[in-house]
Structure 1
């Protein structure tokens, strides 16, 4: 009698992400990421012994050298998921929530990385609450682990990211939450964003059924809005060599729907509303790239000693048509460098907004492939102070998410 071999159907695959407390120390995923592309690869440098041996062969030994990994990932945009990857790529992060009772103020200054805070009154605060400390560029949201009188202990996963002065506001929150991502420029930790572990849940790996790719550092993310398709994203990441997940991850996909790209608006020369809204944008694509340099050192370890994140650049491709005039060509010829804003509205009041204060058109070609003329534009987002975040200096763009996630 013929037996059926045991197999692992691709349809049962799931991908997870978790933020690392220590770079390269793999963690189990805290979030399931719905994607339709996940291409991991382990890369081992082969050291080949070709020393002569009075023989006609060429290779006499193969020794493993240094190693690392890479991941290509992508799929539809989900308003609650994208923030994990934006934080990894850009690093500067401000979040505010909708104020709710109770509220108080700090009774003492707080340093960055603090795991507890002292407040004027702890009455009404309770374990599990997501509380906002401070306002403006120093606003952040942390989760309460416990409350003892006027001391609030924070969850280990959400220590403070900023230092806060005495007497600043502390309040409980509810959704929606507004998350702003810009280029991190602070001197602390060399302006390096956090790293994440990406986990491939296939069932193939013995024991846990999942393989983890730690120390993930994004080198690129592409956001695309084609008016006839879903809003999509793709990303590339460098990682350490993969390891089996410590245990079987929990798969719990969000029930937030994907969003169609037609429900987005583009602003040229101002916001994506009113007289500066451009209503004939067929497709927009924003690419943010980051230099990632693995450094291998003489430390008796084959994984990189450091995964150094370098400079960031951002570009846009804009397809206009049918066009009523030569505005897109004139922006190139006259070097007007207009503001670009994209606002993509999603389900349940969610929103993705991309702001680039200075857009330098470097190509603008007339498109005659359809029944009405259009223009295909290529542009660079120029770093500026308007799009900078709490760490100051410059950023080529600012990306804002509105959803019901308290913090990334």
Structure 2
């Protein structure tokens, strides 16, 4: 008898905000993705005590567990909000109707913790619910000849089999990179070829002897933001800046549509140090590859104050209370 084969393209990835960390919810929002790799992180305890024999192992017991989900795809002006809020933490929403404006910044008060989400991955066999997911890293990439894209890693609790949720996909179109605008030091640089913004926040798991294999809690740690960009070489400025770790501001923005259909994303680091700048002669024109680190700044914070290396401003048709 022939085995049933489930095409990978039938995968559905759904996301839902949790009211309490680790308490699974049934997601109603589906994320269009190009790749997804969910895995249980298992730590079996091996019995390898000596028994006067050459055998190396005599059994195993379950150990601490968790999960990791790597997901990537095109950037959509409504769905990227889940990941931005999931790694930064605070979402201040203004506007009485679409387009709403989301000012997304690190939460520097109280627990300083972003929200947790339940991810459900569903295929031809069924669904797996991954509760307690927190965003550990988020890369946002712009390339002149392709769609803007993202790649994220989430860390959560181990998965449990569930039915496929009735989640729906957004009708919002993806954002094209060619429409991106980059400002360095407040001035538009039209020579941009490619840009990657790397937002990272390590997740620390705390386990107790409480009768459960799952972590007692998972905490989001320090926030770091780094970037790389490739430009067509037009001057020696960036190389000279790198020699002195010149501090400047870096802001990239992208938008599509208008009125209630507006989808826009603005990512700003008011304080960034240029670290490297190297010329590349492998293309038809000379390029310059630049890297930088974003620093904590009081200019990029929200109502919780403190210091922040990044402020994201998102405009779309999503109202308050959805992402966080």
TM over 0.5: yes
1:106-157 CA-partner distances (Å, limit 9, x unpaired)? xxxxxxxxxxxxxxxxxxxxxxxxxxxxxxxxxxxxxxxxxxxxxxxxxxxx
In structure 1, the residue matched to 2:203 is: 292
For the pair 1:381 / 2:294, whether they are aligned, the reply is: yes
Q: CA deviation at 1:349?
A: 2.1
Q: Distance in 2 between matches of 1:337 and 1:327?
A: 13
In structure 2, the residue matched to 1:142 is: none
In structure 2, the residue matched to 1:308 is: 219
- 2:81 pairs with 80, 83, 86, which one? 83
1:256-292 CA-partner distances (Å, limit 9, x unpaired)? 111210010000101xxxxx10000101110000021
- Structure 2 gap ranges (5+): none
Q: CA deviation at 1:77?
A: 0.3
Tell me the SS of whatever aligns to 2:265. Answer: strand
Q: Distance in 1 between matches of 2:35 and 2:6?
A: 17
1:338-376 CA-partner distances (Å, limit 9, x unpaired)? 111101112432111000101101111111112322210
Q: Distance in 2 between matches of 1:59 and 1:43?
A: 21
Q: Distance in 2 between matches of 1:238 and 1:346?
A: 31
CA-based RMSD of the aligned residues comes to: 1.2
In structure 2, the residue matched to 1:105 is: none
In structure 2, the residue matched to 1:262 is: 178
Tell me the SS of whatever aligns to 2:54. Answer: coil
Q: Distance in 2 between matches of 1:50 and 1:10?
A: 39
Q: Distance in 2 between matches of 1:337 and 1:367?
A: 23
- 1:213 pairs with 123, 126, 130, which one? 130
1:138-179 CA-partner distances (Å, limit 9, x unpaired)? xxxxxxxxxxxxxxxxxxxxxxxxxxxxxxxxxxx2110011
- 1:231 pairs with 148, 152, 167, which one? 148
1:89-114 CA-partner distances (Å, limit 9, x unpaired)? 110211111xxxxxxxxxxxxxxxxx
In structure 2, the residue matched to 1:404 is: 317
Bigger CA drift: 280-289 or 248-257?
Answer: 248-257
In structure 1, the residue matched to 2:106 is: 183
For the pair 1:343 / 2:253, whether they are aligned, the reply is: yes
Task: Normalising by structure 1, report the TM-score.
Answer: 0.76
- Structure 1 gap ranges (5+): 98-172, 271-275
Q: Distance in 1 between matches of 2:107 and 2:217?
A: 18
Bigger CA drift: 58-67 or 7-16?
Answer: 7-16
In structure 2, the residue matched to 1:222 is: 139
| Contact 2:28–2:167 (CA under 8 A) maintained in structure 1 | no
For the pair 1:355 / 2:268, whether they are aligned, the reply is: yes
In structure 2, the residue matched to 1:128 is: none
| Contact 1:93–1:390 (CA under 8 A) maintained in structure 2 | no
The number of residue pairs the alignment matches comes to 318
Q: Distance in 1 between matches of 2:117 and 2:284?
A: 47
Which aligned segments of 4 or more residues in structure 1 are displaced greater than 3 angstroms?
3-7
In structure 2, the residue matched to 1:281 is: 192
Q: Distance in 2 between matches of 1:56 and 1:336?
A: 63
Q: Distance in 2 between matches of 1:220 and 1:346?
A: 25
Q: Distance in 2 between matches of 1:404 and 1:183?
A: 22
**Structure (1 or 2) with the larger CA radius of gyration:** 1
Q: Distance in 1 between matches of 2:284 and 2:34?
A: 33
